[in-house]
């Protein structure tokens, strides 16, 4: 058989191109890497200041029942998308009168042409209240929140939409979005932006502007959304959650900060789907011990579509990636509903269709910062084995207001089959940046300071193995910590194929093209087989 020059040269050129592109960026195949700490830049210690309610980016600029705070979220796969918005004004005060959701319809007109929105979908609406039965504390009632699910969509297709109530002549402008690609081993969204602990400060605006310049196809927000609970109900703010207003009979929140945040974010999330998981700042306890009400009301979640009975945990596909969003502030014990759901969900994943498995929740298991050190140890003890057995590739967390990337790790040991854990809680919130490390002299916290109120006990104890045996903290940067730096920013995940994905972390103070940390995360399915027995049993039973 005689081969033409192009049959010889083309594969050679492609191979050379692949080598050139990948050679100057490290890959996990070269790891584990020696730990790196980037020294803190003192010039970044400026106080994070919230946007005031007079800022034009957070002011209400619609009238009557015209839609505002428009946002998108995904269902479980490409053929379905949620559209959410708010109509009517919130009220805060001592004598509030909730709006009636039945007075305004929830309608979306949409289509593949801006001039022909020929399809219509209807959905549901609701309001929520944040109530404090104490003298001097103001109560809140929201505008009317609408959630409409669009169905029967084509993959990788641009759709135009307009939402509102046509009978009231209260319709939005026309927006657009692109659906996710079809699920398959060679099909992926271009860029997935990941950010945590965002808030609504001037740092936040820099983060979102920087992030938007990277033109993401999807946004993951890993908890701590608005920090409304750094405010009293009269609008007075604080810089610290744990020390704010100890004289209050209940930890107050100022719910209008949610509306300000929704208005600021609309420009991005009306075009780019945003998937949110709860953080501790979303707890927002109120009368009758209600919690997480704003979080559960304002966002649409694919909980029902993914078999979950809770807004705290759910899953979805984006091309060849299966995302699992978990709740750290609800029961995660092996006997609980979330764990049972997670077992079913992981067993249902066909890795020949969605090779990549990514998990996310708020507090990290593998952070080496002093703040919140080993705080989520109970969750790790209960859940880590399950995620490991199914070959989770990447874990995203927030909570720590800094950045850290791990080597592949399992049970605090370097493990080529463990996931890469990435802490990305550096979105720009009002609280202080984390700059102290638990391994620094005098910074190791007392184990008694790390209780888990959600499981009712202490799980973080002294290590019984490895270089830190008989100690609660390492005396140097742990081997599992590959890179850490205190700086505000965000990350971009670009999955290239079924085994290679590029992770890039961007710092707010850098230009849009500069990268603070970058690595190719490489899957090795031949080296690290998943729990095939359980999967075979699951698919046989279907």
CA pair distance 399, 283, nearest whole angstrom: 14
Active site residue 372: yes
> Could you give the angle at the alpha carbon of 124 between the alpha carbons of 121 and 128, nearest 5°?
150
Q: How far is C-alpha 379 from the geometric centre of its chain's CA atoms?
A: 18
CB of 192 closer than 8 Å to CB of 504: no
Q: What is the 3-state secondary structure (H, E, C) of 406-429?
A: EEEEECCEECCCCCEEEEECCCCC
Among candidate residues 43, 428, 45, the one with its CA nearest the CA of residue 201: 428
Q: Which of 372, 382, 399, 401 is catalytic?
A: 372
CA pair distance 531, 346, nearest whole angstrom: 10
Structure tokens at 509: 């103070």
CB of 439 closer than 8 Å to CB of 478: yes
Q: What does each C-alpha distance from 290 to 96, 281, 284, 296, 440 come to in angstroms?
A: 19, 14, 8, 11, 40
CA pair distance 210, 206, nearest whole angstrom: 6
Pairing type for strands 124-126 and 91-93 reads unpaired
> Residue 497: how many CA atoms within 13 Å on its side-chain side?
5
Pairing type for strands 481-485 and 403-410 reads antiparallel
Neighbours of 215 (CB within 10 A): 11
Among candidate residues 367, 542, 486, 387, the one with its CA nearest the CA of residue 37: 486
Neighbours of 32 (CB within 10 A): 16
CA pair distance 400, 404, nearest whole angstrom: 9
Q: Residues with catalytic annotation?
A: 372
């Amino acid at each position: 058989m005689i081969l033409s020059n192009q049959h010889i040269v083309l594969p050679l050129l492609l191979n050379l191109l692949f080598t050139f592109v990948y050679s100057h960026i490290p890959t996990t195949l070269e790891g584990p890497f020696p730990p790196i700490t980037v020294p803190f830049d003192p010039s970044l210690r400026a106080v994070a200041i919230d946007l005031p309610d007079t800022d034009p980016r957070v002011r209400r600029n619609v009238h009557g029942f015209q839609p505002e705070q428009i946002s998108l979220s995904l269902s479980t796969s490409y053929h379905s998308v949620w559209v959410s918005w708010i109509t009517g004004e919130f009220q805060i005060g001592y004598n509030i009168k909730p709006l009636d959701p039945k007075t305004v319809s929830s309608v979306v007109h949409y289509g593949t042409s801006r001039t022909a929105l020929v399809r219509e979908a209807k959905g549901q609406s609701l309001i929520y209240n944040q109530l404090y039965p104490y003298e001097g504390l103001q109560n809140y009632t929201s505008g009317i929140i609408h959630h409409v699910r669009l169905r029967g969509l084509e993959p990788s297709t641009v759709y135009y939409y307009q939402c509102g109530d046509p009978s009231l002549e209260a319709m939005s402008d026309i927006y657009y979005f692109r659906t996710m690609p079809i699920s398959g081993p060679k099909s992926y969204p271009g860029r997935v932006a990941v950010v945590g602990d965002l808030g609504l400060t001037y740092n936040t605006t820099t983060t979102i502007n920087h992030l938007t310049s990277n033109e993401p196809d999807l946004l993951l927000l890993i908890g701590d959304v608005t920090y409304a609970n750094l405010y009293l109900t009269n609008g007075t703010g604080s810089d610290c959650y744990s020390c704010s207003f100890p004289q209050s009979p209940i930890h107050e929140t100022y719910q209008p900060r949610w509306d300000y945040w929704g208005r600021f974010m609309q420009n991005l999330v009306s075009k780019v789907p945003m998937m949110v998981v709860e953080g501790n700042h979303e707890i927002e306890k109120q009368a009758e011990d209600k919690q997480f009400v704003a979080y559960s009301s304002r966002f649409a979640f694919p909980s029902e579509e993914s078999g979950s009975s809770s807004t705290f945990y759910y899953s979805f596909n984006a091309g060849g990636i299966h995302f699992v969003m978990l709740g750290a502030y609800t029961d995660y014990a092996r006997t609980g509903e979330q764990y049972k759901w997670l077992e079913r969900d992981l067993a249902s994943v066909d890795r020949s269709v969605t090779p990549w498995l990514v998990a996310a929740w708020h507090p990290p298991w593998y952070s080496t910062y002093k703040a919140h050190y080993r705080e989520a140890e109970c969750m790790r003890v209960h859940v880590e084995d399950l995620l490991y057995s199914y070959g989770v590739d990447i874990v995203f967390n927030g909570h720590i207001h800094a950045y850290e990337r791990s080597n592949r790790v399992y049970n605090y040991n370097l493990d080529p089959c463990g996931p890469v854990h990435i802490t990305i809680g550096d979105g720009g919130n009002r609280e202080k940046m984390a700059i102290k490390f638990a391994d620094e002299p005098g910074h190791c916290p007392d184990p008694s300071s790390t209780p888990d109120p959600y499981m009712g006990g202490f799980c973080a104890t002294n290590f019984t193995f490895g270089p830190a045996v008989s100690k609660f903290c390492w005396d140097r940067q742990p081997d599992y910590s590959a890179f850490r730096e205190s700086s505000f920013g965000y990350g971009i995940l670009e999955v290239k194929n079924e085994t290679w994905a590029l992770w890039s972390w961007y710092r707010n103070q850098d230009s849009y093209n500069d990268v603070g940390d970058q690595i190719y995360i490489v899957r090795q399915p031949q080296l690290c087989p998943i729990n095939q027995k359980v999967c075979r049993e699951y698919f046989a039973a279907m």
